[in-house]
């Protein structure tokens, strides 16, 4: 069964290991947990959970966002985010949804599935959906 799970401060080693497999940045999508120690990862989880509760633009550019883990059964496959609002920059490069799939699971249709699930969550949240695409090189 493929499903999304919202980030919580109690997410453990399985998520940490996945986040170390996904590079720090790919196609403009950043993995903020890459390269962290497990202790730093736990602190990052707290900040990410707090960030989802913020309202408005932070520091002139950062917006509140909610992170989700994509699971297939009990295995985390990837992660995605929903930005609650967009700055002018994010309207041209970034959009309201972003995601990454762990390299060992690519080419299996998980990218399509996470986009479908994130669009559904975005609608539930009442957030305007804007997708931007970076062409493959």
Closest by alpha carbon to 79, among 2, 137, 5? Answer: 5
Residue 34: φ, ψ to 5°: -65, 135
Residue 40 and residue 137: Cα distance in Å, rounded?
33
Output helix, strand, coil percentages for the chain, rounded to the nearest 5: 35, 25, 40
Residue 121: φ, ψ to 5°: -65, -40
User: What is the percentage of the chain residues whose pLDDT exceeds 90?
Assistant: 72
Please check whether the domain covering 2-125 is classified as CATH 3.40.190.80. Answer: no
The pLDDT tens digits for 8-34 are: 999 999 999 999 999 999 877 899 999
> Would you state the pLDDT for residue 10?
96
Can you tell me the mean pLDDT for 86-98?
Answer: 87
The pLDDT tens digits for 38-66 are: 999 999 999 999 988 888 887 766 889 99
């Amino acid at each position: 069964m493929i499903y999304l799970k919202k980030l919580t401060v109690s997410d453990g080693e399985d998520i940490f290991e996945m986040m170390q497999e996904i590079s720090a940045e790919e196609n403009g999508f950043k993995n903020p947990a890459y390269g962290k120690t497990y202790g730093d990862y736990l602190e990052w989880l707290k900040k990410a959970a707090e960030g989802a509760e913020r309202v408005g633009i932070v520091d002139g550019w950062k917006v509140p966002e909610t992170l989700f883990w994509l699971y297939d059964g009990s295995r985390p496959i990837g992660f995605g985010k929903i930005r609650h609002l967009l700055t002018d920059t994010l309207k041209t490069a970034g959009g309201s949804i972003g995601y990454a799939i762990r390299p060992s699971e690519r080419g299996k249709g998980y990218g399509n599935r996470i986009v479908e699930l994130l669009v559904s969550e975005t609608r539930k949240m009442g957030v305007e959906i804007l997708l931007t695409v970076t062409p493959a090189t």
